[in-house]
């Protein structure tokens, strides 16, 4: 394994970097030519403060006195950003499994897991476990939905705020108040919006189809306006072609000339609408400036599940249509080892691979790499966008694989995670052992 210097400036040569992770003006200025995979071959100079000092095309750099580290054409990515997670529910599968694998089964199991409120110790330990996984895999920003129904906000929000402080400098964290949009309609809506503002968070209504949806969307915008909050809707997480939450949200945002940040997660039903209608919706979403986050791993688990048949429709947002219409499209983890999705390790490389497989983003791997990095990082808005450019922090993931096929075929291969120019220790760059959680109620494996 290559070794990254602990101090002083250094140079990384023979790095294969996806197009979507290099700032476009840098690529234009250097006249970079992509490989077949959609990557550039680059040399990065990193200064003693851990920032990128200069970027050169392979073969085009002046000599240097700095320590030189050779990547051997290995993939080098920017550290990534996860726009849609639920770290509060992470790792609860063992005690709250989904008995029938459906969306309703997941909701029932999650509710039962909260009949006795989580202890602060339980919430903290599982959230921190999720952060350790994410850090080891190369994530640097996370927005997480936190269950925020009446009586359920604490101890989660307080535990989250402590973790946000103690993890600053490793992962930037943003909370999002998650609850059914109907629950915002009465006085509790004001209460939860005020709490969200107090913690510097995002309002996260879960919008279900129905005659009340339009009024719920208006209410969410009213609250966001009054409390100056970004909004992040769970939208059309179903396979009903008539489900039109995304359209309602786009029209409301356009009507209000909304300037604040809006993200819509899931958007599955759009994939089942007639082509001309889907195109019209995508155009309006672009006009409204709404970012869409596709969450394929959870959706292929939950949607299209019938006990007696093999699923055909799996619920991926139409990522190509949306992107072609000019919509900012991100890929996110969503649920991880809970009743909504029993798998996952907070690994955006896995998310990218699965989206590439399911959504055929593999015809343009390199350009799509911004969907797990620059696009979600910009929508989260906590850090300067993570595209490679001089002056940006050297926040890197160095793989062993030299092509997308090699990287995606061996996800378990060790990665070097560089935070502000320095490599994480081997312990920090290794995901935590599941046995770390065995002391928590209901999480040890059955005897």
- Give catalytic residue positions: 237
Nearer to Zn ion (CB atom), residue 334 or residue 338? 334
Interacting span for Zn ion (CB under 5 A) from 5-13, 38-46, 135-143, 326-334: 326-334
What does the buried/exposed string (b/e) look like for 367-406 if buried means 16 or more CB atoms within 10 Å of the residue's CB?
bbbbbbbbbbbbbbeebebbbbbeebbbbbbbbbbbbbee
Nearer to Zn ion (CB atom), residue 78 or residue 238? 238
Q: Least distance (Å) from Zn ion to the CB of residue 242? A: 22
Report CA-CA distances (Å) from 442 to 6, 33, 95, 121, 153.
41, 54, 5, 13, 21
Nearer to Zn ion (CB atom), residue 11 or residue 234? 234
Q: Least distance (Å) from Zn ion to the CB of residue 89? A: 9
Position closest to Zn ion via CB: 334
Q: Least distance (Å) from Zn ion to the CB of residue 332? A: 8
Binding flags for Zn ion, 278-317, as an x/- string (CB under 5 A): ----------------------------------------
Interacting span for Zn ion (CB under 5 A) from 6-14, 22-30, 89-97, 331-339: 331-339
Nearer to Zn ion (CB atom), residue 37 or residue 113? 113
Interacting span for Zn ion (CB under 5 A) from 133-141, 219-227, 281-289, 332-340: 332-340
Give the whole-angstrom CA distance, residue 136 versus residue 133.
5
Q: Report which of 1, 18, 2, 16 is spatially closest to residue 353, judged by C-alpha positions.
A: 18
Tokens of 227: 């409390």
Nearer to Zn ion (CB atom), residue 82 or residue 334? 334
Contact flag: residue 88 with Zn ion (CB under 5 A): no
Interacting span for Zn ion (CB under 5 A) from 307-315, 327-335, 383-391, 433-441: 327-335
Nearer to Zn ion (CB atom), residue 128 or residue 334? 334
Q: Least distance (Å) from Zn ion to the CB of residue 234? A: 6
Q: Least distance (Å) from Zn ion to the CB of residue 41? A: 37
Among 334, 338, 354, 370, binds Zn ion (CB under 5 A): 334
SS3 of the chain: CCCCCCCCCEEEEEEEEEHHHECHHHHHHHCCCCCCCCEEEEEEEECCCCEEEEEEECCCCCCCCCEEEECCCCEEEECEEEEEECCCCCCCCCCCCCCCCCHHHHHHHHHHHCCCCCCHHHHHHHHHHHHHHHHHHCEEEEEEEEECCCCCCCCHHHHHHHHHHHCCCCCEEEEEEEEEHHHHCCHHHHHHHHHHHHCCCEEEEEECCCCCHHHHHHHHHHHHHHHCCCEEEEECCCCCCCCCHHHHHHHHHHHCCCCCCEEEEECCHHHHCCHHHHHHHHHHHHHHCCEEEECHHHHHHHCCCECCECCCCCCCCCHHHHHHCCCCEEECCECCCECCECCCCCCHHHHHHHHHHHHCHHHCHHHHHHHHCHHHHHHHCCCCCCCECCCCECCEEECCCCCHHHHHHCCCCCCEEEECCEECCCCCCCCCCHHHHCCCCCCCCCC
Nearer to Zn ion (CB atom), residue 23 or residue 239? 239
Q: Least distance (Å) from Zn ion to the CB of residue 293? A: 9
Interacting span for Zn ion (CB under 5 A) from 33-41, 68-76, 273-281, 329-337: 329-337
Q: Least distance (Å) from Zn ion to the CB of residue 237? A: 8
Nearer to Zn ion (CB atom), residue 294 or residue 375? 294
Size of the site for Zn ion (CB under 5 A): 1
Q: Least distance (Å) from Zn ion to the CB of residue 295? A: 6
Residues that bind Zn ion (CB under 5 A): 334
């Amino acid at each position: 394994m290559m070794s990254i210097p602990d101090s002083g400036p250094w140079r990384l040569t023979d790095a294969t970097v996806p197009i979507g992770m290099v700032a476009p003006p840098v690529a234009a200025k250097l006249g970079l030519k992509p490989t077949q995979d959609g990557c550039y071959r680059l040399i990065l100079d990193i200064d003693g403060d851990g920032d990128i000092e200069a970027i050169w095309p392979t073969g085009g750099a002046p000599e240097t006195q700095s320590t030189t580290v050779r990547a051997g054409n290995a993939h080098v990515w920017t550290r990534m950003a996860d726009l849609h997670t639920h770290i509060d529910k992470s790792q609860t599968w063992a005690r709250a499994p989904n008995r029938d694998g459906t969306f309703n089964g997941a909701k029932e199991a999650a509710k039962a897991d909260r009949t006795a409120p989580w202890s602060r110790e339980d919430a903290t330990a599982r959230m921190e476990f999720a952060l350790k996984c994410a850090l080891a895999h190369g994530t640097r920003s996370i927005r997480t939905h936190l269950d925020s129904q009446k009586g359920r906000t604490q101890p989660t929000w307080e535990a989250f705020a402590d973790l946000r402080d103690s993890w600053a400098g490793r992962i930037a964290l943003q909370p999002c108040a998650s609850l059914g949009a109907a629950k915002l309609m009465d006085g509790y809506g004001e209460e939860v919006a005020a709490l969200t503002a107090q913690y510097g968070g995002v309002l996260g209504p879960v919008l279900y189809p129905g005659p009340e949806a339009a009024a719920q969307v208006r209410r969410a915008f009213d609250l966001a306006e009054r409390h100056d909050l970004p909004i992040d809707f769970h939208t059309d997480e179903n396979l009903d072609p008539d489900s039109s939450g995304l359209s309602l949200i786009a029209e409301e945002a356009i009507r209000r000339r909304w300037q604040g940040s809006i993200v819509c997660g899931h958007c599955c039903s759009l994939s089942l609408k007639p082509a001309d209608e889907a195109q019209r919706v995508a155009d309006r979403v672009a006009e409204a400036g709404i970012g869409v986050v596709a969450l394929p791993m959870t959706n292929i688990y939950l949607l299209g599940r019938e006990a007696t048949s093999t699923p055909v429709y799996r619920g991926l947002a139409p990522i190509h249509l949306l992107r072609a219409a000019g919509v900012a499209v991100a890929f996110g983890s969503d649920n991880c080892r809970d009743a909504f999705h029993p798998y996952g390790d907070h690994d955006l490389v896995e998310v990218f691979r699965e989206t590439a497989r399911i959504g055929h983003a593999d015809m343009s791997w390199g350009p799509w790499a911004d969907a797990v990095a620059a696009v979600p990082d910009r929508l989260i808005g906590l850090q300067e966008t993570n595209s490679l450019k001089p002056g940006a922090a050297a926040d890197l993931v160095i793989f062993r694989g030299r092509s997308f096929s090699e990287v995606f075929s061996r996800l378990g291969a060790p990665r070097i995670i560089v935070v502000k120019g320095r490599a994480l220790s081997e312990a920090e760059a290794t995901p935590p052992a599941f046995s770390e959680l065995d002391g928590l109620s209901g999480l040890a494996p059955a005897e």
